[in-house]
């Protein structure tokens, strides 16, 4: 390899370290759960995982993955339309559609892939994508890809600002298709998209509404059916994309859920479907078991809700300023990036693993540690984590 190229990478990596933005990986030796064993640190409580329902280490889910391996083997060895597709993919897709309240769904190897596939495949140069300013990186890149390969127009509306979206939709009235894309739950804030207003606006402007519910599926609504269930809008959202890599077993994979025609069109034309392997059958079977577990155990969702409410209330009691909200994503705002990183390091030293986020991932001056609560946490886990927050908060004179 060119030494100039290597030198440039090394120089930039050094710069990351000097700027305090270099990420060091923490290696785990046990499954994701309320507590894990971290290499060289021993047992830590995890407050930074998307294992919302605790299904990563659920015996039924693990058993299903093993059975999938025995029954279908290790992988698909090609793309679905070339070498055949597994019956478990069809069962998983029916289950995902049933869960989120659409007629059909189509699985992808990640929600990132699902998001990137959608607008670039179904839109063209007469169309426009309108995207919330705080949407996830995969949606931002999906817009860039659609602009570059499908030649559609793209626009960004101010975060959750319905007046701005209204104006931009009105200005786009001559476009053949207007596609509005929003996160259901904004992952850095833990806040919800204004779904009722979005549904109304999209209907009025004859726009297609796409909700990425990666942090809502399995989490929101009485039965964990997502942001749409939370707002009483099941069956009213045109397209839902989501992940199988968070609440639903946490392995990997994602899906686009919508009409039968949409899923068929993506099967015919989406490049990640046509030129990349399907979800491994082990993952498809464990994800299917996760959906079925969720359907049979809505009490898990209630436990998650109770745990999140408890942790939020106790943080307030201690004198922290978590962002208000009703999701298990509870960010504690600290201001400068260095303060968030320092806090997360001190918490780890106290046996609590929670990540600090700074600029440019979040706005300047709004660095935070982002706590994520799981149904797997016991009160004892949460109380121990809160004791660490108190100790570190006092040490840093935050409370």
Ligand X SMILES: Cc1ncc(COP(=O)(O)O)c(C=O)c1O
Q: Which residues bind ligand X (CB under 6 A)?
A: 110-112, 115, 136, 138, 183, 187, 212, 214-215, 243, 245, 254
Dist. CA 373–CA 391, nearest whole Å: 20
Dist. CA 363–CA 347, nearest whole Å: 23
Q: Backbone phi, then psi, for 154, in 5-degree steps? A: -130, 145
Least Å distance, CB 126 to ligand X, is 27
DSSP H or E stretch at residue 255: strand 254-258
Per the annotation, the verdict on 187 as an active-site residue is: yes
Return the number of the residue (212 or 381) whose C-beta is nearest ligand X: 212
Return the number of the residue (33 or 213) whose C-beta is nearest ligand X: 213
Dist. CA 197–CA 190, nearest whole Å: 19
Least Å distance, CB 183 to ligand X, is 5
92 contacts 292 by C-beta, under 8 angstroms? no
185 contacts 220 by C-beta, under 8 angstroms? yes
Return the number of the residue (68 or 245) whose C-beta is nearest ligand X: 245
- Give me the catalytic one of 105, 187, 242, 286: 187
- Give me the catalytic one of 147, 215, 230, 297: 215
Q: What single string gives the DSSP state of each residue in 52-115?
A: TTSGGG-HHHHHHHHHHHHHH-S--SS-HHHH---HHHHHHHHHHHHHHT-SEEEEESBHHHHH
- Give me the catalytic one of 246, 286, 374, 377: 246
Per the annotation, the verdict on 215 as an active-site residue is: yes
127 contacts 144 by C-beta, under 8 angstroms? no
243 contacts 253 by C-beta, under 8 angstroms? yes
Least Å distance, CB 44 to ligand X, is 21
377 contacts 306 by C-beta, under 8 angstroms? no
Least Å distance, CB 386 to ligand X, is 26
Strands 104-108 and 178-183: unpaired
Q: What single string gives the DSSP state of each residue in 246-298?
A: SSS-SSSBEEEEE-HHHHHHHHHH-HHHHSSPPPPHHHHHHHHHHHHHHHH-H
Per the annotation, the verdict on 205 as an active-site residue is: no
Dist. CA 157–CA 70, nearest whole Å: 48
Return the number of the residue (212 or 229) whose C-beta is nearest ligand X: 212
Q: How far does Cα 366 stand from its chain's mean position?
A: 21
Least Å distance, CB 20 to ligand X, is 23
Return the number of the residue (115 or 372) whose C-beta is nearest ligand X: 115
Dist. CA 295–CA 376, nearest whole Å: 17
Return the number of the residue (226 or 254) whose C-beta is nearest ligand X: 254
Question: Rg of the Cα trace of the chain?
Answer: 22
Least Å distance, CB 4 to ligand X, is 33
Return the number of the residue (254 or 358) whose C-beta is nearest ligand X: 254
Least Å distance, CB 50 to ligand X, is 7
- Residues belonging to the active site: 187, 215, 246
């Amino acid at each position: 390899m060119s030494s100039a190229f290597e030198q440039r990478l090394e120089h930039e990596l050094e710069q990351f370290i000097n700027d305090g933005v270099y990420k060091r990986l923490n290696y785990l030796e046990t499954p994701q759960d309320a507590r894990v064993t971290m290499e060289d640190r021993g047992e830590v409580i995890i407050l930074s995982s998307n294992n919302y329902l605790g299904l990563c280490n659920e015996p039924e889910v693990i058993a299903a993955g093993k059975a999938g391996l025995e029954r279908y083997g290790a992988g698909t060895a090609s793309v679905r339309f070339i070498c055949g597709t597994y019956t478990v993919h069809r069962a998983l897709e029916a289950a995902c559609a049933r869960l989120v309240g659409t007629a059909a769904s189509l699985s992808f190897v990640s929600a990132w892939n699902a998001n990137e596939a959608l607008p670039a495949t179904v839109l063209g140069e007469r169309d426009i994508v309108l995207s919330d300013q705080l949407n996830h990186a995969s949606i931002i890149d999906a817009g860039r890809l659609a602009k570059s390969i499908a030649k559609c127009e793209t626009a960004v509306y101010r975060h959750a600002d319905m007046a701005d979206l209204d104006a931009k939709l009105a200005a786009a009235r001559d476009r053949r298709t207007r596609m509005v894309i929003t996160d259901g739950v904004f992952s850095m804030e833990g806040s919800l998209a204004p779904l009722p207003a979005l549904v109304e606006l999209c209907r009025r402007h004859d726009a297609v509404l796409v909700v990425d519910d990666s942090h809502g599926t399995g989490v929101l609504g009485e039965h964990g059916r997502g942001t749409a269930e939370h707002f009483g809008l099941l069956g009213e959202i045109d397209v839902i994309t989501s992940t199988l890599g968070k609440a639903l077993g946490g392995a990997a994979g994602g899906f686009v859920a919508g009409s039968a025609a949409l899923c068929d069109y993506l099967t015919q034309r989406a490049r990640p479907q046509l030129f990349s392997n399907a979800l491994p059958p082990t993952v498809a079977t464990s994800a299917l078991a996760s959906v079925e577990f969720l359907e049979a155990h809505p009490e898990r969702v209630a436990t998650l809700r109770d745990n999140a409410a408890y942790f939020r209330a106790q943080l307030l009691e201690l004198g922290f300023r978590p962002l208000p909200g009703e999701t298990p994503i509870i960010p504690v705002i600290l201001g400068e990036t260095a303060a968030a990183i320092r806090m997360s390091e001190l918490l780890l030293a106290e046996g609590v693993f929670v990540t600090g986020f700074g600029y440019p991932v979040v706005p300047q001056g709004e660095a935070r540690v982002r706590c994520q609560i799981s149904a797997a946490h016991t009160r004892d886990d949460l109380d121990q984590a809160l004791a660490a927050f108190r100790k570190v908060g006092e040490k840093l004179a935050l409370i």
